[in-house]
Structure 1
Amino acid sequence: MTTVIWHAPRVALTLSAPADGPVSVLSLRPADAAEPEPLLPEAHGEQPLVELTAFGHGRFPGSFRHVDTIIGRALRYVSHEELPGELRVVQEDASRGLRVVSVFQAADAPAIRTWTEVTAADDLVLDAVSTFATGSFLADAGLGSVDGLVVAHADNDWIAESRWQVEPLRTAGLVDVRRAAHHHQPPRTRLVLGNRGSWSSGEKAPTAALAAVHGGYALAWQVEHNGPWLAELGENGRGAYLLLSGPTDQEHQWSVRLRGGETFRTVPASIAVATGGVEEALQALTEQRRAIRLPRGADDALPIVFNDYMNTLMGDPTTEKLRPLVDAAADAGADAFCIDAGWYADGHWWDGVGAWEPSERRFPGGLAEATGYIRSRGMTPGLWLEPEVVGVRSPLARTLPDEAFFSRGGVRIAEHGRHLLDLRHPTARAHLDAVVDRLVSEYGVGFLKMDENTMTGPGSDRDGLAPGHGLLEHARALLDWIDGVQERHPHLLVENCASGAMRMDYAMLSRLHLQSTSDQQDPIRYATIAAAAPASILPEQAGNWAYPQTGMSDELRTFCLVNGILGRLYLSGYLNRMAPHEVDAVREALDAHRAVLRDVRGRLPIWPLGLPAWEDEWTSLGLQMGGHAYVSVWRRDGADSARLSLAWARGRALEVRPFFPATAGGWSWSWDADAGELEITAPADEPSARVLELRAG
């Protein structure tokens, strides 16, 4: 048996390569963690690193699961190669002429990034290929079964994003069938997390975590694809497994025919590990997100953006309506002003979009007059854009060729009054390039809110492909298009939005500046969304709406502004209608937010009340660096007090001071150093929130 041990700067990976079986993961641990004992092949649950099915080559035994594959069991180790920051492991199935390469990359994070490359010597139709599969977490956690594991995962939907739950793996779906009574045959049950269509987080966040109940080991993962994906948890003969993949035939109508010598590459995924619990694993994944980002100089500014949409103009901008908002945003201290939806249409616009020419009725003096006024007030002008759609009433629906759109069976797809551009086609890309270049050159746009409100369905079968593979190719073409836009316009910042956070993935976010976390218009409902966002995205990319309005009570206005401070405060609201004391509160919030932004990229998220659940009466998010933390606390309802767990400060003196607002305003707190708990008491007559600054002595 060959054992491959790869020591990256902050993670250690051990692989088993027996002569009579496929390569599997023995251990994946932080580099400074002790190796598990005993380090034996049976400790990892006999889960092959790669699972692969093709037409005519399925599973044994048959099930809905993507493990137990005939080809996965037939793979044999050939070689491995270590390169700077990378490990490549080669396996072959000689009888079928298949060569499979597993690629692992590591940077300055306790994590790996991985994908699979499959090359066929003869024609073969693949219908599922894993990005990564392992059963090693049981051995790494010192567990013998799934009974000692919890899983953390998040449901996601429009205006109800990031609804996290942490539950025992048995409760989540891996039922105990008492294998001994069935001759120790593995159960066929599985827990499946995933998404369909072009919304990578339309149903589930592509991030989750596994942790030992005793807290000694945890891993978190994210599938880095701007389209459909799958994460599967189940049991095999000796333990449990985790499998990650992009689209499959069973779930997503995906397959691809490899001609002799052709190679298919799966979507990548990152797996982070920690010697702790769910929170520590998500912190490790936070470090990985920073390590895989493709930073540009323009990203460093971290501007505060005012957007005219949410609870304000709501898609009805005009020059007359914008001018007082521009003045108010500039006076409050915003750095950029984004004109949101509607700027391109005289009236109803939903199913007529696509040309992206400004409305003369809305802007009698031209859109350049409006963007020029924004610039004259010291702010960067921005525009909303939904580039991937053409409305069914748009002239472009008749002038662009059919091949430039998604189609099924020769019929152009229409969803929600829109056709969907297929960015594999040069005409579609040329059209979008011309649009962006014109907006930048003619109107001085330095910020784009890139939206995607129309989910594609399974994909496009143009050129005889399976719909799912057409969608996969389009998703990759979209990333290439974004790369080209940023290369031509290095100072252009782009926000990622898809009906809020329906495409919240690190294929997109490794490239883009900001992520809309929701379209939720109720600030009270927004609290758990804002608190949970850093579980899925970097805090410096978490665009949390703060839309204060004149006439709000002091507590509601504060609550609304607290939503934005420990992320990227995305400002809206009729600031121009506010009384002086209300404007002062907004300015104070922006000053506090800028203080957070000074070192936000060095901070890790903490959840002193646990990962937020949708109906939680109290919730909390902190950003910690060493012995210092900013902590937001929201009381939405219920009891007037809560106890925040601050294990990092246990046994130490703790200085607590109000950060925003700068006065306690009826809130009080008491520190129990022995327990490591901060008891918070808030006024109970209405929802209330504060940001505190904590310093452990």
Structure 2
Amino acid sequence: MGLAGAAGLAGRATGAAAVIATSDSDASESASVGVSGAPFEAGSGAATAPVIPGIEAAGEGSSAPMRLLRLDGTRATLLLIARHTGLPEIAHWGARLPDDLDAQSVFAMRAPEMPDNGPDQWQPLITLLDTIGGWSLDMPGLIASRPDGTAWTAAFTITAIDHTPGQLTLQATDDLSRLRLDITLTLGTEDVLSAQTVLTNTGETPLDVARLVSGTFLLPDTMTTFGVMHGAWGMEWGQSPTELRNGALVIESRRNRSHDHFPGLVAGATGTTQNTGEAYGAQLGWSGGHRFCVERMEDARYRLSVSEYLYPGEGSLPPGAALKTPVAYAAFSPQGYAGIARAFQAFARAHVLQWPGGAMKPRPVLLNSWEGNLFDLHEDCLRRQIDATADLGVERFVLDDGWFGSRRNDRQGLGDWTVARSIFPQGLRPLSDHVHARGMQFGLWYEPEMANPDSNVFRAHPDWALQVRGRPLLTSRRQVALDISRPEVADHLFTTLSHEVTNSRIDYIKWDFNRDLLDAADAQGRAAYRRQVLALYALWDRLHHAHPELEIESCASGGGRHLRASGHRAEPAETHRCRTHAPARLDRAPQTPAWRAASWRGPVRGRRPGSDRARRHLDGPADGHLSSGAGKLAAGAAFGTGQALRPRHGVSLSRDDPETPDRPRRPTVTRTDAPLRGWPCPVRRGPHGHGALPPRPCAADGVCDRVPGGAERLMRCKRPHYRRMPPSASPTRQ
């Protein structure tokens, strides 16, 4: 248990979360919790409250005062030691420490120790932001320099502390390098610690920042296994437990999507299970590139640093400018990995997610038109499908790709967000009215950040594309990314989307993002990855301000944008419908471990079972996509429906079910035994739990809720045995 375990300081916590500084010699100071802008008084050897009088560092030749800075959650404590020079040392992050913590014992245990064959000046092994400078050669949290090569080291001194219950803000400066640092930490009852850093260039010349961490977290030496989430398109949320005995584990993603590496990790001790043992988790609230580094320190503890990934030039700060990092989140749980999931879910519900009207509504049962129709859209057929869908009890009908411009395949028309009059002669309003008349919401698919080269918008504005001028235009999925940080591009998208939302009475947008950013340079040739993310957030905010009741689902080829930063602007998309390393991605059953891995990110994930056959979409002739069966599900549609119930249920149409004028294509979920409307609310909003039902590969996951009278109920879904199609039977085998 880190510091508490080593020093024998752990005990039963008796009070509410508090921010305190205490010592045996001044018990009256234990109630000090509201200090604002309290500076260390240089030269006097004293500091303003909260202070521990007479407690001095035990280091050789040192008389600088020290103070404890403490944040408490329900079961977790962050404990810092602030000295007169340098940033605060992280003394403990983990299990809740006693309210009557003996400050003198803490100071004695954390007193400076001079290492053998080391520098004569002592520095703590881990601070809130480790810098290049002094004798520390560990992974720095700040890498910056000026054009002449100076200011590449930093040595900060605390100048002010704003210390309130649940939050701590530190201000520090480096007068030599001309830098100012503001670090904000919060810890609430959910036991999620958030950290954010702001670096200001107070010098007279530009500063180039190559790395600035959002937060640095201390992990105890008992952590032996680090779990990272990895994958690819259609196979996100793979899990790779890794042991780290020495050195560092670095996880990076540079593509502005997170299929390859979700921006987070979990850590557990030997023997930690889903529901027992100590576990830690961390994630970054950012929709761009990211970097996680776990480094084993000299004393066998671990330093975890979390930051966004900055491309060259993206951290350039002119004099007086500031760089504000995304928020990093860390959680501690004494109840295993599922405890981490519950902590992040509770925190997201309380502090991240924002809903129209201020309260989360029950997640509607959703049907998406894509898999049943692809680009083959006909208004009469869609109306019949809507009627069949409404009879089943579905609550939201989403019209997917193919409704606009010349979009009859994925080679053309993307970016031309005007209704295809050849399909919908009177626009989308009549279809939307039909959906609403059947008691459902109407949703529409967009991919606003992208365009096909074969589109009117690209032909009119080729300079809107993100590309390195003078190099070949890089396309992916036959499309380019638009520079939405340009005001004229953002204005065009806002006007176009806002017009359609109003005229067609759109309740919901599925916002897709189907390619990585490659050579993402603006018109001046500068890297634009970071500005692209900030422009996306600004565009979402504009849409929500103009249309407060509009819901946006953040999709990126499935689960490529499961990112906490977008949670209060756009609902995270589904965990991908199929997930297996078999060539054709055959089984829906592997979605269960993917959902389990994704569950600790936050509470909102959508899922829908596809048709009886998972499909891969191939490059087809000019009239659109082909689809090919890729293996029948072992458990059938009923199991797929059970999977998709958690926590936002969705269903899909099957192209294996022929469409005729007298018989519309029907949702696969009709094989279940009950209508979908009115399913118990816990299935759609409750916290979930994990368990195991031996023998393998059976497992239990579910969502639980407290019913009137105090009892808890668990909606349980069991993962059955399933088979993967052998390679010799794969329809893709040549």
Partner of 1:544: 607
Structure 1 residue 319 displacement after superposition: 1.0
1:562 aligns with 2:642: yes
Residues 152, 60 of structure 1: CA spacing in aligned structure 2 closer, same or farther, 3 A cutoff? Answer: same
| Deviations 1:403-440, CA, capped at 9 Å, x for gaps | x4323256695422323222221111111111211211
Give 3-state SS (helix, strand or coil) of 2:389's partner: helix
Partner of 2:267: 210
Partner of 2:35: none
| Deviations 1:261-320, CA, capped at 9 Å, x for gaps | 21111121111112232222222122222222242236414211110113x212332213
Partner of 1:693: none
| Deviations 1:481-513, CA, capped at 9 Å, x for gaps | 101101111111111100111111011123223
Partners in 1 of 2:462 and 2:532 — Cα distance? 17
**Greater mean deviation of Cα atoms: 107-116 or 424-433:** 107-116
Structure 1 residue 227 displacement after superposition: 0.4
8 A Cα contact 1:115 1:266, kept in partner: yes
1:41 aligns with 2:110: yes
Partner of 1:590: 676
Partner of 1:96: 177
1:133 aligns with 2:216: yes
Which residue of 406, 412, 419 maps to 1:358?
Answer: 419
Give 3-state SS (helix, strand or coil) of 1:524's partner: coil
Partner of 1:506: 564
Partners in 2 of 1:125 and 1:338 — Cα distance? 45
**What's the RMSD between the two structures over aligned residues?**
3.4
Equivalent positions of 1:211-290 (< 5 A) are 211-213=268-270, 215=272, 216-248=277-309, 252-253=311-312, 255-290=314-349
Equivalent positions of 1:594-609 (< 5 A) are 594-595=679-680, 597-598=681-682, 600-608=684-692
8 A Cα contact 1:163 1:529, kept in partner: yes
Give 3-state SS (helix, strand or coil) of 1:281's partner: helix
Which residue of 460, 471, 480 maps to 2:529?
Answer: 471
Which residue of 453, 468, 482 maps to 1:408?
Answer: 468
8 A Cα contact 1:8 1:85, kept in partner: yes
Give 3-state SS (helix, strand or coil) of 1:133's partner: strand
Structure 1 residue 78 displacement after superposition: 2.5
**Greater mean deviation of Cα atoms: 600-609 or 503-512:** 600-609
Residues 570, 19 of structure 1: CA spacing in aligned structure 2 closer, same or farther, 3 A cutoff? Answer: same
Give 3-state SS (helix, strand or coil) of 1:246's partner: strand
Equivalent positions of 1:321-470 (< 5 A) are 321-344=381-404, 345=406, 347-400=408-461, 402=463, 404-409=464-469, 414-416=474-476, 417-457=478-518, 459-463=520-524, 465=526, 467=527, 470=528
Structure 1 residue 401 displacement after superposition: 6.8
Equivalent positions of 1:562-581 (< 5 A) are 562-574=642-654
Partners in 2 of 1:617 and 1:349 — Cα distance? 39
**Greater mean deviation of Cα atoms: 347-356 or 88-97:** 347-356
**Matching residue's letter, 1:397:** F
Residues 625, 526 of structure 1: CA spacing in aligned structure 2 closer, same or farther, 3 A cutoff? Answer: same
Give 3-state SS (helix, strand or coil) of 1:352's partner: coil
- The alignment covers a number of residue pairs equal to 591
Gaps of 5+ in 2: 1-64, 113-122, 144-150, 579-584, 614-630, 707-711, 724-734
Partners in 1 of 2:667 and 2:265 — Cα distance? 43
Partner of 2:207: 124
Partners in 1 of 2:454 and 2:134 — Cα distance? 45
Gaps of 5+ in 1: 139-144, 176-188, 611-615, 639-697
Answer 1 or 2: which has greater helix percent.
Answer: 1
| Deviations 1:546-588, CA, capped at 9 Å, x for gaps | 2355998994121111111122112112488699998654462
1:318 aligns with 2:378: yes
Partners in 1 of 2:172 and 2:304 — Cα distance? 18
**Matching residue's letter, 2:689:** P
**Matching residue's letter, 1:624:** C
Partners in 2 of 1:306 and 1:408 — Cα distance? 40
With normalisation by structure 1, the TM-score equals 0.77
Residues 72, 91 of structure 1: CA spacing in aligned structure 2 closer, same or farther, 3 A cutoff? Answer: farther
**Matching residue's letter, 2:237:** S
Partners in 2 of 1:440 and 1:255 — Cα distance? 34
Residues 301, 618 of structure 1: CA spacing in aligned structure 2 closer, same or farther, 3 A cutoff? Answer: closer
Residues 383, 424 of structure 1: CA spacing in aligned structure 2 closer, same or farther, 3 A cutoff? Answer: same
1:492 aligns with 2:560: no
With normalisation by structure 2, the TM-score equals 0.73
Structure 1 residue 224 displacement after superposition: 0.5
Residues 308, 235 of structure 1: CA spacing in aligned structure 2 closer, same or farther, 3 A cutoff? Answer: same
Structure 1 residue 72 displacement after superposition: 7.5
1:81 aligns with 2:141: no
Identity %, equivalent residues: 20
Residues 277, 531 of structure 1: CA spacing in aligned structure 2 closer, same or farther, 3 A cutoff? Answer: closer
Partners in 2 of 1:504 and 1:273 — Cα distance? 21
Residues 317, 531 of structure 1: CA spacing in aligned structure 2 closer, same or farther, 3 A cutoff? Answer: farther
Equivalent positions of 1:13-92 (< 5 A) are 13-29=78-94, 31=96, 39=106, 40-41=109-110, 46-52=125-131, 61=137, 65-66=139-140, 74-83=155-164, 85-92=166-173
8 A Cα contact 1:15 1:25, kept in partner: yes
Structure 1 residue 131 displacement after superposition: 1.0
**Matching residue's letter, 1:28:** W
**Matching residue's letter, 1:603:** P
Which residue of 255, 258, 267 maps to 1:197?
Answer: 255
Partners in 1 of 2:369 and 2:412 — Cα distance? 22
Rg larger for: 2
8 A Cα contact 1:412 1:419, kept in partner: no
Partner of 2:698: 618
8 A Cα contact 1:212 1:277, kept in partner: no
